[in-house]
Amino acid sequence: MDSPLSPSLADVDASAPAASPALRWSNSLADLGAVFSTPLSPTELPDPYWVGRSQQVADMLGIDPLWMGSEQALAALTGNLRLEGSRPLASVYSGHQFGQWAGQLGDGRAILLGEIETADGTPRELQLKGAGPTPYSRMGDGRAVLRSSIREFLCSEAMHGLGIATTRALSVTGSDARVRREEVETAAVVARVAPSFLRFGHFEHFSYGGPAGALGQLADYCIDRHYPQCRSSARFGANPYAALLEAVSARTAELLAQWQATGFCHGVMNTDNMSILGLTIDYGPFQFLDAFVPGHICNHSDSQGRYAFNRQPNIAQWNLFCLGQALLPLIGDQDTALAALACYQPAFAAALQRRMAAKLGLAHTHDGDQELIEDILTLLAQDRVDYSIFWRRLSHQVGGQPQHTVRELFVDHSALDAWMTRYHQRIAPLPAAAVARAMLGVNPKFLLRNYLGEQAIRQAQRKDYSLVATLLRVLEAPFDEHPQHEALADLPPQWASGIEISCSS
């Protein structure tokens, strides 16, 4: 049931400089049935203000730039104003958290407004994170704080700029309303966008306790909207649910290869934080590696190191087995489910080798290339070399235009020199300019390092959002040189190693 517009906001339309956007809404999750979600409206935040906006995402959604600058947009994307055609709701799901069954979870602070029909015919869900309590808040306040919201906004768009599958972020708005975490902070709302926010945990919920038929209904909905090819799988015949499990496994394998090649640590890979579409979802205690430390733990709450960087591929596979277990009543037998899951390891290994070879400028792999890759990773770990700066410098060095050499980054010069000799022998038959150009297209100059996010947050807490805007522009095109922003690509300062990021937000 739609809630009426709050009377206190009835005059927003009249004061806005642009008319309400002509968005074509659909609400397929709401139409799926009451068992899957609860209709409710966001809780208002007082005196909201803009912190950041992505024009790229607005363009994708067909939102007029004039409207995006309006007071009406500010109210709507904070949750203070209902957009005509939207039907806000919070969905229910369950999940495994840090390897333990957590039972019912759900959208505890995220409210889905509905799906916007984009110009290319692809619906995009629009969700407000931090929009207030829901029936699934588990005694929480349903709010997000400014620091985590800025991190999610920037990283969502940074990942898209890197070509990594991800949810997107349209905007982040703030309010001086107080929110208590470890300390008192201010509230914020991120407007998130994705083809779907369905998670592994949605299927776990309806497999382990939902009403009869709900699991099949959800799986059919997912297949028909996102995986229609599973209806005619040559491999699994008339078993579209096994085909779905295999398709999700393949997408997850590709995603994890993207993460590992880029040096991205998610930090909290619970099954309720795993996208059924193979998207990076739920940016909490994430981090891009500075020094290459394979066992790096970016989440201060992860005392056992379950989600350390080098464990991410195996954790993704563990999570897929949880999804397979949830889908087993539909798949029918364990052997078929295991066959569907079997694609993950070879798909991940092939995708990672392909991406690491590309970082070396190798379009086609030869015998010995995997050893070349493994050996440089060993050297990077041995000397704790900055991961992204090494690859960017190597790219320029191959092209004959280095401002700095990779040798300056290492302690063990003799070991590096031996590896460089092998590497140059490998690429000697290839045109150097073309190799360097290809490398510069996959080895980014700019990443959302923790210290850059921290600087943007500190400025924003003083009501200065200029660094948020600057970082957004640079991270939207992270492979470009942006010579006016060289400082944003420097080695991290010494104090950056003391930044602690946890699950708290």
pLDDT score of 182: 84
pLDDT score of 451: 97
pLDDT surpasses 50 at 311:
yes
pLDDT surpasses 80 at 421:
yes
pLDDT, mean of residues 14-28: 67
Within 13 Å of residue 33, how many CA atoms lie on the same side as its CB?
Answer: 11
| Averaged confidence pLDDT in the chain | 93
pLDDT score of 3: 31
- Residue 4 class from Cβ within 10 Å (0-12 exposed, 13-18 middle, 19+ buried)? exposed
Name the pLDDT band for 15 (thresholds 50, 70, 90). Answer: very low
What are the catalytic residues?
272
pLDDT surpasses 90 at 7:
no
Question: Which helix or strand (DSSP H or E) is residue 113 part of?
Answer: strand 110-117
- β-partners of residue 187 are 145, 175
pLDDT surpasses 90 at 502:
no
405 with 456: CB under 8 angstroms?
A: no
Name the pLDDT band for 193 (thresholds 50, 70, 90). Answer: very high
pLDDT score of 14: 31
pLDDT score of 234: 86
Alpha-carbon separation of residue 113 from 24, 47, 118, 124, 219 (angstroms): 12, 21, 15, 11, 22
pLDDT digits (tens, 9 = 90+) for 34-88: 999 999 999 999 999 999 999 999 999 999 999 999 999 999 999 999 999 999 9
pLDDT surpasses 80 at 483:
yes
